[in-house]
Amino acid sequence: MGATFSTADTIVAVATPHGRGGLGVVRLSGTEAVAIAAHVTGRTVPFEPRHATVATVRDVDQVVVTWFAAPQSYTGEDVVEISGHGSPWLLQAVVDLACHAGARLAQPGEFTLRAYLNNRIDLVQAEAVADLVEAVTPLQARVALDQLEGTLSSAVQKIDAQLFDLVAKLEASLDFPDEGFHFITRENATADLTRVRGELERFVKDGRRGRLIREGRMVVIAGRPNVGKSSLFNALVGTNRAIVTPLAGTTRDVLTERLDVCGVPITLVDTAGLREALDVIEEEGVRRAERAQEAAALTLLVLDRSQSLSRDDARLLETAQGPRLVIANKADLPAQWSCEDAGVCATGPVLAVSATSGDGLEEIRLAIVETLSGEPGSWDRAERLDPPMVSNQRHLQQVEMALGAVDRSLEAVERGATEELVLAELGDAREALEALTGRRTPDQLLEHIFSTFCVGK
């Protein structure tokens, strides 16, 4: 590792979020952690491992000190946590005293990096720590926790073990060049590779849904003025965030809100009505609405079912770009058109909703995540109770690389290639899986990954 992440020093940082609170924690890790904690507290009696000890940081605060002895600690080193009152000034004072006593201020993610380097966790689990800290929906937290507990790592290791067994048999066959595949038949090799391929394909499918859960998406509500876009926005958000009036053109700017839709973090955007602008302010609002649509992963195109379709509606149906859901709003009022009569059904499914009564909102929420995942009909309760193992783009890329190498291996076996050619492809597959878990990872990638963590973690 580079000098930035030197493991020879004892490091210190505030481990709790910035701001005031009832409690705050300062964390130390390294060979001098216990000695520095004793110096900071002026304590002469040794701390006991895994015992909370009341102490006083001189002229600063009364604290509770807990020593987690190596190697049974988060980082695998001696770790000391000093819990005091949650004043930013008090916590910084403890950190300053620790630095004066020989500690170094930790870099972002350095505690978790040491846990990885000391084989307490693998790289997948380390990245899951950051995902768990950043989780904003229960499903996000569940996916991250499963990865932290080693669900993905264990599955990857099983696949790698299958590939290793195949590699061993093929390498042994190299001693018998005139007999072809000596320790395994081509039929059995094909069967083994086909089984591995199926497992990797499942990971790829999981990964698309997992990335949606981990990263979220932006969804824009669009339509002509006064069709109920802001009412739908408020109904989905669950509060009156957008101003709603009978006057057309009330919304002049984009309005955003973050919400949980079936476990997926969605940034919902309300926009100005799309029509020929009547003044410069509305003109700018329309431009912003169009830019938001261009950036959105999904557009909810809202139509007013209680009024005849207008030319503006027809134009929006014809020109809307990208994935979209057509929403027939005001379904609690007498309908003035049906999707079949107006030809709206030709553009895709139409969902009826009443933003006023709430009827149809659950169907819209489910349609949003199913459309974003690209798997209509898949996002039921059972799917959410069994979250995907792959959610990180880096992990998905490594799985796809491994899958490509397995495909090439399978093709080589089926066309009668020699062991050497098959082994070369299997080596690429195993290398991709090892990079996923961190068994074979460049230092620059490690520094990039851990630099995105918060300080203290």
- Domain 3-122 fold is Gyrase A; domain 2 (3.30.1360)
Integer CA distances (angstroms), 351 to 259, 268, 362, in order: 20, 18, 11
- Tokens standing for residue 299: 């557009």
Per-position b or e across 38-60, b if 16+ CB within 10 A of its CB = bbbbeeeeebeeeeebebebeeb
Query: pLDDT tens string for the chain (457 positions)?
Result: 444 567 789 999 999 888 888 899 999 999 999 999 999 999 888 899 999 999 999 888 999 999 999 999 999 999 999 999 999 999 999 999 999 999 999 998 899 999 999 999 999 999 999 898 888 888 889 999 999 999 999 999 999 999 999 988 888 777 665 555 667 788 888 999 999 999 999 999 888 888 888 888 989 888 888 788 888 888 888 876 554 445 444 444 568 888 898 889 998 888 765 545 444 444 555 566 666 667 788 888 888 888 888 887 787 777 767 788 888 888 888 888 887 766 666 667 788 899 888 899 999 999 999 888 877 666 655 455 567 788 899 999 999 999 999 999 999 988 888 888 989 999 999 999 999 988 877 777 777 777 777 777 7
Strands 61-68 and 217-222: unpaired
| Structure confidence at residue 173 (pLDDT) | 72
DSSP designation for 250: -
d(CA 56, CA 93): 13
- What are the DSSP calls for 262-327, one per residue? TTEEEEEEE----S--SSHHHHHHHHHHHHHHHH-SEEEEEEETTS---HHHHHHHHH--SSEEEE
- Domain 218-359 fold is Rossmann fold (3.40.50)
| Structure confidence at residue 389 (pLDDT) | 84
Strands 217-222 and 264-270: parallel
Same fold, 134-213+390-438 and 218-359: no
- Tokens standing for residue 413: 């076996």
Q: Delimit the domains of the chain by residue range.
A: 3-122, 134-213+390-438, 218-359
| Structure confidence at residue 379 (pLDDT) | 64
- Cβ distance 34 to 47 under 8 Å? yes
| Structure confidence at residue 244 (pLDDT) | 47
| Structure confidence at residue 1 (pLDDT) | 47
Which residue type does 123 have?
L
| Structure confidence at residue 5 (pLDDT) | 62
- Tokens standing for residue 28: 């130390």
The CATH label, of 2.60.40.10, 3.40.50.300, 1.10.3720.10, 1.20.120.430, for the domain at 134-213+390-438 is 1.20.120.430
d(CA 321, CA 306): 25
Q: Which residues contact 388 (CB under 8 A, 6 or more apart)?
A: 143, 206, 207, 209, 210, 213
- Tokens standing for residue 288: 């912003």
Of 134, 105, 127, 302, give the one whose Cα is nearest residue 220.
302
